[in-house]
Structure 1
Amino acid sequence: MRTPLHPVLPTVDELERRARALVTAAPGVLRLRPVGESRAGRPLWLLSAGRGDRQILTVAGAHANEPVGGASVLRLARLFAHRPEALERLGCTWHFLLCLDPDGARLAHGWMPEEPEPSLEECHRHFYRPAFARQPESLPAPGEERAPLPESAALVRLLDELRPVAQFTLHGIEVGGAFVMLTREVPGVARAFRETAARLRIPLDRHPSDGPDWRLDPPGVLVLPGDHGTGERDPSGFVAESTWLYPRRYGTLTALVETPAWCAPAVSDARPAVAPEREIARVGEVLLGQTRELSAVLDGCEGAVAAVPEELAPLRDAARELIDVAPSIVDSWASEEQSAYRGHFATLGISARRIPLRAAAMLRRALARTDPEAADTLANLVREWCRELEKAYDLRWVPVSAQTGLHVRTMIDTARLACATGG
């Protein structure tokens, strides 16, 4: 068996083990405590560094398919263990929530990327991203008849306890470009983020499709306008009802940092789009056409879909949600004011392919026991759609060291600038 050329992205158990090893090596700087439990009763671990008056919180593992955040947390905590004076200069205590969704992370675990050429198809053989209501950063919307997830409630309690100057939430998309979302503008943050991405050779997403009501500061930066947030909605759920925006009552800056595993240089293209209306129609048909293929597979195996084992039902449910919301996503793209940049349509084209690819990958896993033939059909679609993505967008693997480097450097620069402006 070939030995991976970089450390494997940490599992939930490895995150705890490595955090404990760091605490043992630097007991005067680091400490570890549980701050809640997941739905399945797994502990939510908080690693804290330093003892300054200002509080900073980093949240990793909010999405099950984004394990790079845990690697970034360990990297920054290790830096503080060796250089505690960095914390002292900031006058802060820095807290790391190692994994907000350990249950989801366990269901998603299995992909072991090896550099220099990991496989996009192999990544999707183990893919899982929960349905929106099962994502812990999502809080119930007004009138929604569901209680907060235990993980969500634990994070809210932590935010109430810490009232942090800054909250960082670390994300890692499979394919695309880097971007950052800020709940308020902090002078210097956008420039520092862009400079870091350039040094690491990670293309910026010129016009991210996330946060449709956020103010675009191209390239790669979205800022929440001061008068927005109430009732804001994207195609997958309420953004305003989230743990991103919850601590605004304490004056907290939340920064969502997104880094791609495979980057697509096309998303940075600042040239004018030739025919925006035609491009919107084209990407919409890609999404609807591929979801129709998935619907046809499901129509042929309804009994097997209903008989999916309980432990695999979250895969099936998340895939169905993606298929169901596809038309509303296409409608939202068509109703938005069109960007002038080619990069934006590259971003939408990747989204149009990513959504059905995710659904196909999860359905394949869900149906592997109850309908192997349908699972084989879905595996063929995953293979075909991965190749289409690679060919259409000239994808390039971003080394894990660069992915975590973007997270870590952005957090340090943003914390420094936020503290300098009084928090």
Structure 2
Amino acid sequence: MRTPLHPVYPAVDELERRARALVAAAPRVLRLRPAGESRSGHPLWLLSAGHGDRQILTVAGAHANEPVGGTSVLRLATLFAHRPEMLERLGCTWHFLLCLDPDGARLAHGWTPEEPQPSLEECHRAFYRPAFARQPESLPAPDEPRAPLPESRALVRLLDELRPVAQFTLHGIEVGAAFMMATREVPGAADAFRGTAARLRIPLDRHPCDGPDWRLDAPGVLLLPDDRGGGERDPSGFVAESTWLYPRRYGTLTVLVETPAWCVPAMSDARPAGAPDREIARVGDVLLGHTRELAEALGDRTAADVPDDLMPLYDAARELVEVAPSIVRSWAAEEPSAHQGHFATLGISARRIPLRAAAMMRRALARTRPDTAAVLGDLVREWCQELQKSYDLRWVPVSAQTGLHVRTMLDTARLVCAAGG
């Protein structure tokens, strides 16, 4: 495959190089400094724009499998370099953390899609998403023995330093639909997000699986209930503190923006679902059936078969297999949804979880157990084809992916600053 001159998803070193080029071209507007280090000693680069009194922070690269955030950061920083009056009107300094998890991003890098017809299978050849406890936006719960990751500590220090009026965290799912999560309601922000998604032809996830304790403002928006504490519960049951919620002590609004690489229009379907209980059972059977098939393919392969440098892949894949039953139970325990879009969301999740696990396990075993890795590669191919046949997947141009991020940040920032945030 031909490699583009400027990859649409820049790797970590390319993000730094392009940020330095922006600073060199607009030194009165932009500046770059390290805000901490990763577990492996790689710097966490902070690109800052403007000189206003209000502080805004954007976090990219929190999840290794979501490189679009870095592209969105470069797009908005470039806009500010050419139009600094935008920052002056907001009265703010806008900070961009280029990549919160550079170690994970390095392990995941390898897929550079070529538009207009990128390959879902190719995407999963380099797939990596860390286990829950290795995700930097996840802080230890009060009763958890683990220490915060260096990346988490760096982000918390930055939040303490800046006390921003808004924190944006940019995410990008490989297959799904768009949604937004906000730690408080900002009048007009949800409608602006929905309007941008409509103009960019990106379907909304009417009822996202994320944030099971959050309040749904359909379609496509989750709001943090007023009585929520600092804990964050994953659908699998994993509970942690969160850097999303940490800066509420400073009055900070946190907004998460999720944009898909391949979108699924069915996730926006508002038509009534015929038999919710039967649909819940069906998607649960898909998830458990695929994880059983994966376990059979692995046989007696254990961590002893995995090279040390690839253990994060093995651990993350094993965790996904282990939490599958609890995810199915959580779906069954929910109040059945009344619309078909929700079951499309669950159906995508039921197929995405084992696909991710198979993709990571294939990489983990490729050197030492090529026979098993080949079988897992067949599963990855088969499950990618199943996703494409079961749902009308449509590639979202990278310009639209980043457009949803950038437009949502600018619209929300204007509303927050206008309200005196």
Q: TM-score range by the shorter chain?
A: over 0.9
2:388 to 387, 390, 410: 390
Counterpart of 1:233?
A: 233
Map of 1:181 onto structure 2: 181
Secondary structure in 1 matching 2:241: coil
Structure 1 counterpart of 2:269, one-letter code: D
Q: What's the CA shift for 1:231?
A: 4.0
Residues 373-393 of structure 1 show CA distances to partners (whole Å, capped at 9, x for unaligned) of 100000000000000001111
Any unmatched runs of 5+ in structure 1?
Answer: none
User: 1:228-285: CA deviations, max 9, x gaps?
Assistant: 1354422346566010000000000000000000000000000011000000000001
Q: CA offsets, 1:354-389, max 9 Å, x none?
A: 000000000000000111110000000000000000
Pairing 1:305-320 to 2, within 5 Å after superposition: 305-320=303-318
**Secondary structure of the structure 1 residue equivalent to 2:76:** helix
Q: Which residue of 1 aligns with 2:48?
A: 48
CA distance in 2, matches of 1:196, 1:235: 28
1:143-177 Cα offsets, whole Å, 9 max, x none, are 10010000000000000000000000000001010
How many pairs does the alignment contain? 421
The answer to whether the Cα contact below 8 Å between 1:9 and 1:67 also exists between their aligned partners in 2 is yes
Change in Cα spacing, 1:161 to 1:238, as seen in structure 2 (3 Å) is farther
> In structure 2, how many angstroms separate the alpha carbons of the residues matched to 1:348 and 1:190?
23
For residues 192 and 173 of structure 1, do their structure 2 counterparts lie closer, same or farther at Cα, with a shift above 3 Å needed?
same
- C-alpha deviations, 1:115-144, integer Å up to 9, x for none? 110000000000000000000000001210
Alpha-carbon spacing, 1:16–1:237, altered in 2? closer, same or farther (3 Å): farther
Q: Distance in 2 between matches of 1:380 and 1:213?
A: 37
Aligned partner of 2:136 in structure 1 is 136
Q: Within 2, Cα distance between the matches of 1:114 and 1:79? A: 24
Q: CA deviation at 1:7?
A: 3.8
Match of 1:368 among 359, 363, 366: 366
Q: Percent identity?
A: 83
Aligned equivalents of 2:152 and 2:4: distance in 1? 35
- Aligned residue runs from structure 1 range 312-351, under 5 A: 312-351=310-349
| 2:354 maps to 1:356 | yes
In structure 1, how many angstroms separate the alpha carbons of the residues matched to 2:22 and 2:80? Answer: 10
Alignment pair present for 1:224 and 2:224: yes
Pick one of 377, 387, 404 that aligns with 1:406: 404
* 3-state SS of 2:341 partner: helix
Tell me the distance in 1 between the aligned counterparts of 2:246 and 2:239: 11
CA drift of 1:4 comes to: 4.0
Question: Which amino acid in structure 1 is aligned with residue 298 of structure 2?
Answer: L
**229-238 or 257-266, larger mean C-alpha shift:** 229-238
Q: 1:326 & 1:255 partners in 2: Cα distance?
A: 28
Task: Answer whether contact 2:230 2:246 (CA < 8 A) is retained.
Answer: no
Q: Is residue 178–residue 202 contact of structure 1 (8 Å, CA) maintained in 2?
A: yes
- 2:146 partner amino acid: R
Supply the distance in 2 between the matched residues of 1:239 and 1:255 (Cα, whole angstroms). Answer: 20
1:196-216 Cα shifts (integer Å, max 9, x gaps): 000100000011010111110
Aligned-partner residue type, residue 174 of structure 2: E
TM-score by length of 2: 0.98
Assess if the C-alpha contact under 8 Å between 2:35 and 2:43 holds in 1: yes
Alignment partner, residue 172 of structure 2:
172
Counterpart contact for 2:8–2:398, Cα < 8 Å:
no
Unaligned residue ranges in structure 2 (runs of 5+): none
CA RMSD in angstroms comes to 1.2
Q: How does 1:185-196 map to 2 (within 5 A)?
A: 185-196=185-196
Distance 2:388 2:367 in 1: 29
Code of the residue aligned with 1:89 in structure 2: it is R
Q: Deviations over 1:36-61 (max 9, x none)?
A: 00000000000000000000000000
The CA deviation string for residues 306-364 of structure 1, in whole angstroms up to 9 with x for no partner, is: 23111100000000000000000000000011111100000000000000000000000
Q: Distance in 2 between matches of 1:371 and 1:157?
A: 43
Q: Aligned in 2, Cα 1:353/1:54: closer, same or farther, shift over 3 Å?
A: same
How far apart are the structure 1 equivalents of 2:54 and 2:112? Answer: 37
Equivalent residue runs for 1:239-254 within 5 Å: 241-254=241-254
Counterpart residue number, 1:118? 118
Query: How do 1:285-304 and structure 2 match up within 5 A?
Result: 285-302=285-302
Contact preservation (8 Å) 1:132, 1:237:
no
Q: CA 1:239–1:31 in structure 2 vs 1: closer, same or farther (change >3 Å)?
A: farther
Separation (CA, whole Å) in 1 of partners of 2:409 and 2:239? 22
In structure 2, the residue matched to 1:70 is 70
Determine the C-alpha separation between the residues in 1 that align with 2:19 and 2:237.
33
Equivalent AA in structure 1 for residue 22 of structure 2: L
Secondary structure of 1:241's counterpart equals strand
Which is further off, 230-239 or 220-229? 230-239
| 1:35 matched residue in structure 2 | 35
Superposition map of 1:86-165 within 5 A: 86-165=86-165
Deviations 1:176-199 (A, max 9, x none): 100000000000000000000001
Query: How far, CA to CA, are the matches of 1:75 and 1:238 in structure 2?
Result: 34
Partners of 1:103 and 1:397 lie apart in 2 by 27
Which amino acid is the alignment partner of residue 298 of structure 1?
L
Task: Determine the structure 1 residue equivalent to 2:23.
Answer: 23
- CA–CA distance in structure 1, aligned partners of residues 237 and 79 of structure 2: 36
Residue 110 of structure 1, CA deviation? 0.2
Kept after mapping to 1: 8 A contact 2:230/2:242: no
2:139 is paired with a residue of what secondary structure?
Answer: coil
Kept after mapping to 1: 8 A contact 2:212/2:235: no
Partner secondary structure for residue 205 of structure 1: coil
**CA gap 1:135/1:236 in 2 versus in 1, 3 angstroms:** farther
TM-score by length of 1: 0.98
- Residues 418, 167 of structure 1: alpha-carbon distance in 2 compared, 3 angstrom cutoff: same
